[in-house]
Structure 1
């Protein structure tokens, strides 16, 4: 009996000891089976929740690792952005703060064209671009951005000294201060467009002095530049290859002579509406600028065949020639031009009133690359002249010609349309106000050659008074029969 009591006390003592140890080890011992079951369920829930959290953490880490920001170094992202235009860059900059920094990095803004945003471009926009781009900026086009003023352009010139191309066409708020800043700061400038700007002799002088690398200049309709200003500019810039000076009444022969002496590498010369020029100026260019490819002298009304003869004698690389409105030019001059300039691809003879079919024959016989021929208002051109274009025995214009302009040619008839059917590559035909061309003739031509764009105009027919029926008119006070 004593042994039994001793064993009972021993078991009780062992149970209490194990319970204390379990509590110490954060284990709960309960003799109740229901409590054990609940405990197991709770433990399973806790474990499931922990597993779910761990899985979400792992998935989040995998997603973050696959993000372009994590996978690619910022240098590579910037390089990718460099292939986008400014609109796409601005859209990318709105994705996140990180992309905003990379997309608008100065290295991505080397070439900025704001022509599409003309009215929305304020002086603050230009200043922000200048501050962000700094020395990275190479070209900026601000054509028709009329809100730009001297202050914003000064910031641009100072902060972006490496600009090589600058287009300020019709930026009318700019004054002489801006052009002085261009000359003082943009020494690497090679192309400058100042068309219709308010620049005068002081500004052009500073640009000539400070921008010695200039190769292309556009000063059309800058009427405040005097003949002396143009002369000094031509004397200072010896690297010029492209000059556009339309509408400059102060463009004199001596200016062209200086350009010819100082710029022998000249390729393109645009002189439309320079009414003061005569043959002497063009002859100077022809004698010295033998690499000339583009020459436009439309509405230089004092030019004669002497200019054409000089060009044919020396400028064998000429491929574009425009002489619209030069009514003193004749077949003799164009004969010399076509023989000496076989590479002509485009020639505009609109309103050269003296030329006849002989000019067309010379072009067909000598200019085998001619693609664009303008004969508008040439009143002596007839159907026989068109036949010379299409006749393979006189040349290959029937194979090369793509555009033919015959507006206001009163002697052209529907027969000319039949002749043009042999022009294999003709793409556009201008027939405005050709009195002897009929609607039926054009419809017939278009039905055969739907790929050719034909532009024509026919005045609406007005009913004759003799054909109108007599009708009575009435008013409140009387009746008029």
Structure 2
């Protein structure tokens, strides 16, 4: 090593002799500069130390003295992505300058040809190029319509398998520039999500300009809660990322119709668009999307005050034959929009209408009578207060292929309308009713009796009009097709209703009776015994009046098929229930006994079951369990992937010893996610 320090070099290297009297002086070794946030994996910092000749300090010559124009010419002649990434790691100035270079501005390098030879093309090559197909794809650049060969358009960095997500303070122009420069040589950026926050201050349109110029393979862009991003940034994306297929704009008040129209005109592959709470986007954007995007399949528009009937009408009249999924929420639209959707939505398969306070029953009636929704399979209507029985019946007639229907927060639809709907919707397989307070228990049973034998799932939630009524229901009215029944938080539903359901629905395999404080063992046992098919999923959470008798019957009759059991809040259940579960439930994978009256003995019986292989086990709020259950939880942990012991006060989380019980449990169940 000393020979290295003593080496002075020849005269041809440095005519001034030694650089310093003592070449081993440690003051000559300067620290490396700070690293820059770039993508090149092997970064090298610049050393800006001065050279010392014969005791005089002279400033080191640097390429930094070159103006941006000269550096631009140097950078666009770099041969590959790794070289550009290496240069980007030198300084922020170089990084930002590299990020402004458009793909078309990169100088073509072919072998050892000089710059003057790049434009020389043989006559035969020109003839070959002219013989190729002249199919063009038009796009807009800086307000001017341009065209390129279709082959060139489809060949733009077509990989794009990389995905990046920036949130909060991480969303800055420098990071976006690094992504733009660094991903080009690594497969190309395909998906970019930017989630802003109150602390997002370092992001401007410059960052999106870098993405637009450096990431032509971008197919999905999501911008959420970004007040600093406007039309200028979106114009750069439209100009450079012409392969864009999905665009999500949420809470971006600075973006107007100008930016979204540019996207529509430049990105013919656009398939999915979401616009939410963008106060300056209006009808012209929807008009452009309908006219310029032949592949548009899915659109979501929520809480945009400038979008009205004109925008919806323009969209569906132009793209209704390709649009298959649409969601409109909190918009100032009227019955006109519903009529247009019903007439032009010939390709529509999934439609959601939410919080549309200005639409009336007549609009739904016209939408159904328009006969344009023949392919509609999924329809959700929430908080549209104008719809009533006549509009609902018209929808059933106009949507013969409807399989799933959801009606929520409605005060006008009654039993009569729902029964007519169930009878007319001949393909209906799933019906969801929530906060429909005019629907009664009698109406529910008539729906099951008139559903045409195809209804597979029925869900009732928060329906205050459902109360037990003593009446004689025809024993011949049986719904053999129903497999899933959900009754959640309907306080009036009790034992009488359960008894009738037991006679009407013998094929249930998924049953949820949650939040029903009025049901007891007396009502549940007849239902359990009447089921011909084995239950697979059972949820009795919040049914506080059930006891061990119900669990014993369930495990003996359906233990061989039961995979999920939720008994959360059934406070009268004891260790006897767990013992029956351990003996009879051979395929159970998820068990929730939170806030039940179980003890360490019950957990021990579960641990002793050889055939039981629980994956998720919750005993949150079971105050009777203690540290004595930890060995048994360790045995169960051989198969567990999730364990919840929150609010189990008997299990110590702190101890005077070196390790608490929870720490020992975490150490033993290192493969399992433990909530404590």
TM-score (ref. length: structure 2):
0.48
Q: 3-state DSSP class of the match of 1:140? A: strand
Is the partner of 1:271 in helix, strand or coil?
strand
- Cross-structure match for 2:539: 348
- Mapped pair 1:167 → 2:357: no
Q: 2:636 pairs with 399, 402, 422, which one?
A: 422
Cα gap change, 1:275 to 1:388, in 2 (>3 Å):
farther
Q: Measured at CA, do residues 157 and 368 of structure 1 come closer, stay the same or move farther in structure 2, by a change above 3 Å?
A: farther
After superposition, what is the alpha-carbon deviation per residue over 1:214-236, rounded to whole angstroms, capped at 9, x for unaligned? 22111133344335544554465
Q: 1:158 aligns with which of 306, 310, 317?
A: 317
Q: Does 1:200 align with 2:420?
A: no
Larger Rg: 1
Larger strand proportion of the pair? 2
User: Is contact 1:256-1:281 (8 Å) kept?
Assistant: yes
SS at match of 1:247: strand
**2:445 aligns with one of 283, 306, 327:** 283
Distance 1:102 1:126 in 2: 9
3-state SS, counterpart of residue 114 of structure 1: strand
Does 2:336 match 1:177?
yes
Q: Deviations over 1:115-148 (max 9, x none)?
A: 6x654882243222112125x4333233566653
Which structure has more relative contact order (CA 8 Å, sep 6+)? It is: 1
Alpha-carbon shift at residue 58 of structure 1 (Å): 5.2
What is the aligned partner in structure 1 of residue 387 from structure 2?
Answer: 225
1:382–1:223 CA distance, 2 compared to 1 (3 A):
farther
- CA distance, structure 1, for counterparts of residue 532 and residue 243 of structure 2: 58
Match in the other structure for 2:433: 271
Q: Secondary structure at the match of 1:206?
A: helix
Q: Give how far 1:382 is off.
A: 3.0
TM-fit CA distance, 1:414? 6.4
Of 165-174 and 149-158, deviating more is 165-174
Q: Deviations over 1:407-438 (max 9, x none)?
A: 55666666777666537654444555556665
What are the equivalent positions in structure 2 for 1:63-74 lying under 5 Å apart? none
Equivalent pair of 1:397/1:423 in contact (CA under 8 Å): no
User: Contact 1:357 / 1:381 at 8 angstroms: preserved in 2?
Assistant: yes
Alignment of 1:332-371 (within 5 A): 332-335=522-525, 340=531, 342=533, 344-365=535-556, 366=558, 368=560, 370-371=562-563
User: Which of 216, 239, 246 in structure 1 is aligned with 2:408?
Assistant: 246
Mark the runs of 5 or more structure 2 residues left unpaired by the alignment: 1-112, 136-148, 161-189, 193-217, 222-235, 245-261, 456-479, 590-611, 654-659
Residue of 107, 122, 126 corresponding to 2:286: 126
Matched, 1:449 2:594: no
2: CA distance, partners of 1:238 / 1:347: 32
Q: Which residue of structure 1 aligns with residue 36 of structure 2? A: none
Distance (whole Å) between structure 2 residues aligned to residue 283 and residue 334 of structure 1: 17
- Residues 52-63 of structure 1 aligned to structure 2 (within 5 Å): 55-57=117-119
* Counterpart contact for 1:86–1:112, Cα < 8 Å: no
The CA deviation at 1:191 is 1.5
| Unaligned residue ranges in structure 1 (runs of 5+) | 1-50, 457-481
Q: Offset at 1:453?
A: 3.1
Q: CA contact under 8 A between 1:319 and 1:344: conserved in structure 2?
A: yes
Query: Structure 2 residue aligned with 1:377, among 550, 565, 569?
Result: 569
Alignment of 1:94 with 2:239, yes or no, is yes
| 1:234-279 Cα distance to aligned partner (Å, 9 max, x none) | 4654432112223334454334433432335433222244444443
**Distance verdict in 2 for CA 1:101–1:189, change over 3 Å:** closer
Q: Which has the higher helix share?
A: 1
Question: How far off is 1:156 after superposition?
Answer: 0.7
Shift of 1:375: 2.8
**Shift, 1:166, TM fit:** 3.3
What SS class does the counterpart of residue 323 from structure 1 fall into? strand
For residues 425 and 176 of structure 1, what CA distance do their matches in structure 2 show? 56
Q: Distance in 2 between matches of 1:343 and 1:66?
A: 70
Matched, 1:148 2:313: no
Taking structure 1 as the reference length, the TM-score comes to 0.65
Asked whether the equivalents of residues 392 and 421 of structure 2 are also in contact (C-alpha less than 8 Å), the reply is no
Aligned pairs (5 A) from 1:408-419: none
Q: Do the aligned partners of 1:293 and 1:320 also contact (CA within 8 Å) in 2?
A: yes
Residues of 2 paired with 1:442 and 1:341: CA distance?
44
SS of the residue 1:207 aligns to: helix
Assess if the C-alpha contact under 8 Å between 2:393 and 2:424 holds in 1: no
Matched with 1:298 is: 488
- Shift in alpha-carbon separation, 1:98–1:410, aligned structure 2, 3 A: closer
User: Contact 1:315–1:341 (CA<8 Å) still a contact in 2?
Assistant: no
Q: 1:191 is matched with which residue: 346, 350, 354?
A: 350
